[in-house]
Amino acid sequence: MISKARLFQFLFGFSLFFSPTVFSLVAEPCGTMISSFEKPIVLKSDWYFRKGDNLDWRDESVEETFWVKRSVPDYGISKTENLTGYHWYRCSFYLPDNYTTPVEPIAIQLGRIRDIDEFYLNGTLIDKTGSVLPRMEVDFQKIRIYSLPTHLLKPGLNVMAIRIYAATNLNGLKEAPTIAKERLLRESVFSKELFAMVCGYVFIFMGIYFLVGSIVRGRAGENFFFALFSIFMGIYVLIRTQHRDILFQSFTWSYVVELLVLICLPVFFINFMHQYLKMKRNMVLLVYEIFLSVLFIITLFFRNPKTWILVIALFNYALPIAMGLVIYLFVKNGTRNIKKVKFILIGIACLLPTILIDSLSALEIIISMPGTLYLGFLIFLVMISIQLSNDIVLGLENYIGQEKELIQMERVKTGFLINLSSEFKSGMEKIKTAIDNITTNQGKSQVKEATKPSTKKAAKKKSKTVSTPKQSGDPIKQAEDHISYMSYMVEEAILLRRLEEKTYIPFYETFSVSELIKNCVASVENHLGQHRKNAFIDVRPNDLEIYFPKELFFCILRNLVENAYQYTDPKTDIHIEFYNRDGFHQLIVMDEGMGLSQLEMETIFQKFVRGYRDKKNEIPGAGIGLTLVEASTNFLSGTVSLKSSEGMGAKFTIRIPEKPKK
């Protein structure tokens, strides 16, 4: 079961974290009777204030004629007088006659004070923060919690005195002093800063994650600047908590580092946006960075409160420039790709109010609200992290896709080399066969000369029956054809490379279309060993001559005709047509073969891609024929079209503009 004391401690810490105004419900005036320290006592009214300095004002008994009564907090800039320098606050309280020493230590919380303070109880110095001499050391971020020695507390009247030195015209108490158990006060301070400390570490680890990612993945652009922004934001947040006392021995250097980190934040964020949106740096950004560099140097070398106030004011006056640069980047590039920046926009929408709150609290115009401030920064950085993470995931997906494409391309290239090797091997075997036939014929001729006339007659008769031209042909001619074909394959590959690199120079000449088509068909038939009677050539008119690059025309024609022969049954018809119409040369090659599916038609002109999946391993070829057809046609400013369906054959139509004869 929860005790009443524990419940009250929880409620006290809760109220300190969320609403300092709660204390107004239980506030007491100076001069009140404190019967117990079980609950906090907030001393808000009837404080005595006096400008000037006199160490006698720390004593219990002081002439209060020239003192002014005030209620606290009264922090700010006096409109009636300059309070720079020393001023004092005094407050008294009573303890009962039966007062006994508390079991737990008692303390008073004064909050943050500008700039140097000393706390006295019943005329005795209890503790102090900062010093004036021999060198001014200030600390206006430390939350003052001073222990109240139990041996100084006494029944009856007890007097507290606070001696404050203000180095600027900002002065006063930021919050009403609270007397309570020291443990409870320190727990409340920790609870108020816990969320800020967690956010600080989250920001730093988030930045380290993206920094390592940018180094490992070799991307030192947007991820690198976002990592720096996140790390510096985390450091800035931690310095503004009680980590300041852990990280630094001197408040001066801690505050200098805080301002230096703050000055760097806009630069990192704007450079992050430039890198992320792939935009060049402009002159306004350069001038803004020079301005911040000047503030950086001033902060580093002029370490005093007046300089700090000036730097913060100039930084805030220039802050709209940073906002304008970010807005410009979004308007210039972000609107064209809203999906790419939508999470960043959400983050900025959360960041802008927090920047305003932080700037106003830095100028000490409003009371700091760290819970709201750090929550805004947390949402802001998380939104950007989500955006960058999405980009990383998309990048990995693209990378995996490219890897798959490369693997597929490697397979295609391997298939191309295998097919090419197969073509050369087949050609070499045919050449070897032709050479063997030549050798055999020479041997037979020598045998014929050595035998008897009757035997010669019989052998001659037998030789005539076995090797007629129709059956075997001239072996030398066969060898020449195969050598020419292999040479032509190499020339085709070279031609394709020159067309792709745009280094090919065409040679125009006049030639007979009908004769070239017949020669092409004869070459294909001789190479494939097919002598079709159902290949129809239709050139209109029959004696048509054109002025055209003969090499490219033969290349286009040969690849289309060779495909028609290879992928059709020898019994089916093949039609080759050529005519001029409307200023265009038109070449049509039709067959009645297997046809192509819609999917095959979409990729058939790509390099190393071959159609007819079921047959492509059985039919020789390198996979660049139709690619070369399309490249040659495009080079001549023409078009190539394909009409086909599975089982219905294929029709290739080439249209190329005529070129007048010189």
pLDDT digits (tens, 9 = 90+) for 636-651: 889 999 998 888 889 9
CA 502 – CA 480 distance, rounded (Å): 32
In this structure, the answer to whether residues 107 and 24 fall within a common structural domain is yes
The pLDDT score that the predictor gives to residue 287 is 92
The pLDDT score that the predictor gives to residue 411 is 67
Mean pLDDT of 503-529: 88
In this structure, the answer to whether residues 24 and 155 fall within a common structural domain is yes
In this structure, the answer to whether residues 233 and 358 fall within a common structural domain is yes
pLDDT bin (cut points 50, 70, 90) of residue 359 is low
In this structure, the answer to whether residues 283 and 387 fall within a common structural domain is yes
pLDDT at 387 over 90: no
Higher pLDDT pick, 506 / 459: 506
The pLDDT score that the predictor gives to residue 467 is 37
DSSP class of 642: E
pLDDT in tens, 203-261: 999 999 888 877 776 556 788 898 999 999 999 989 988 888 888 888 888 899 999 99
CA 176 – CA 172 distance, rounded (Å): 11
In this structure, the answer to whether residues 154 and 243 fall within a common structural domain is no
Residue 285 lies in a domain: yes
Residue 83 lies in a domain: yes
Residue 537 lies in a domain: yes
Higher pLDDT pick, 360 / 232: 232
Contact 239, 257 (CB under 8 A): yes
Residue 649 lies in a domain: yes
Residue type, 3: S
Residue 442 lies in a domain: no
Mean pLDDT of 44-53: 93
In this structure, the answer to whether residues 265 and 393 fall within a common structural domain is yes
pLDDT bin (cut points 50, 70, 90) of residue 470 is very low
Q: Which of 351, 353, 354, 331 is nearest to 341 (CA)?
A: 331
CA 392 – CA 645 distance, rounded (Å): 42
Residue 438 lies in a domain: no
Do the bridges between strand 68-70 and strand 124-129 make them parallel or antiparallel, or are there none, so unpaired? Answer: unpaired
Question: In this structure, what CATH number is given to the domain that contains residue 180?
Answer: 2.60.120.260
Residues 6+ apart with CB under 8 A from 400: none
The pLDDT score that the predictor gives to residue 157 is 94
DSSP class of 590: E
Q: What are phi and psi of 160, to 5 degrees?
A: -110, 140
pLDDT in tens, 558-568: 989 988 888 88
pLDDT bin (cut points 50, 70, 90) of residue 451 is low
pLDDT at 661 over 80: no
In this structure, the answer to whether residues 298 and 228 fall within a common structural domain is yes
Highest mean pLDDT among 6-10, 99-103, 397-401: 99-103
In this structure, the answer to whether residues 147 and 202 fall within a common structural domain is no
pLDDT bin (cut points 50, 70, 90) of residue 65 is confident
The pLDDT score that the predictor gives to residue 480 is 66
In this structure, the answer to whether residues 163 and 200 fall within a common structural domain is no
What percent of the chain clears pLDDT 90, i.e. is strictly above it? 27
End residue of a domain, out of 186, 205, 231: 186
Higher pLDDT pick, 195 / 460: 195
Least trusted range by pLDDT, from 121-135, 294-308, 330-344: 330-344
The pLDDT score that the predictor gives to residue 85 is 86
Residue 427 lies in a domain: no
The pLDDT score that the predictor gives to residue 234 is 92
The pLDDT score that the predictor gives to residue 159 is 95
Which residues, listed in sequence order, are joined to residue 137 by a DSSP beta bridge? 131
DSSP class of 74: -
Which residues, listed in sequence order, are joined to residue 160 by a DSSP beta bridge? 91, 121
Least trusted range by pLDDT, from 473-477, 554-558, 633-637: 473-477
Residue 454 lies in a domain: no
The pLDDT score that the predictor gives to residue 161 is 96
Give residue 603's domain range: 488-657
CA 456 – CA 34 distance, rounded (Å): 147
Contact 236, 258 (CB under 8 A): yes
pLDDT bin (cut points 50, 70, 90) of residue 91 is very high
The tally of domains found in the chain comes to 3
Question: In this structure, what CATH number is given to the domain that contains residue 294?
Answer: 1.20.1070
Least trusted range by pLDDT, from 90-104, 186-200, 441-455, 465-479: 465-479
Tokens of 263: 């000055």
Summary mean pLDDT of the chain: 80
Least trusted range by pLDDT, from 122-131, 184-193, 301-310, 484-493: 484-493
In this structure, the answer to whether residues 197 and 173 fall within a common structural domain is no
Tokens of 609: 């891609």
In this structure, the answer to whether residues 142 and 250 fall within a common structural domain is no
Question: In this structure, what CATH number is given to the domain that contains residue 504?
Answer: 3.30.565.10
658 in helix, strand or coil?
A: coil
Tokens of 406: 């490369």
Q: For the CA atoms of the chain, what is the radius of gyration?
A: 47
End residue of a domain, out of 151, 186, 221: 186
Q: What angle do CA 58, 62, 68 make, to 5 degrees?
A: 95
Cβ neighbour number for residue 266 with a 10 Å cutoff: 22
Residue type, 496: L
pLDDT at 111 over 80: yes
End residue of a domain, out of 186, 206, 227: 186
DSSP class of 221: S
pLDDT at 416 over 80: no
Q: What is the dihedral angle through the alpha carbons of 222, 226, 229, 232, rounded to the nearest 10 degrees?
A: -120
pLDDT at 51 over 50: yes
Tokens of 266: 């806009």
pLDDT at 611 over 70: no
Distance of CA 532 to the CA centre of its chain: 62
Mean pLDDT of 260-286: 89
In this structure, the answer to whether residues 364 and 388 fall within a common structural domain is yes
Omega of the bond prior to 541 within 30 degrees of 0, cis? yes
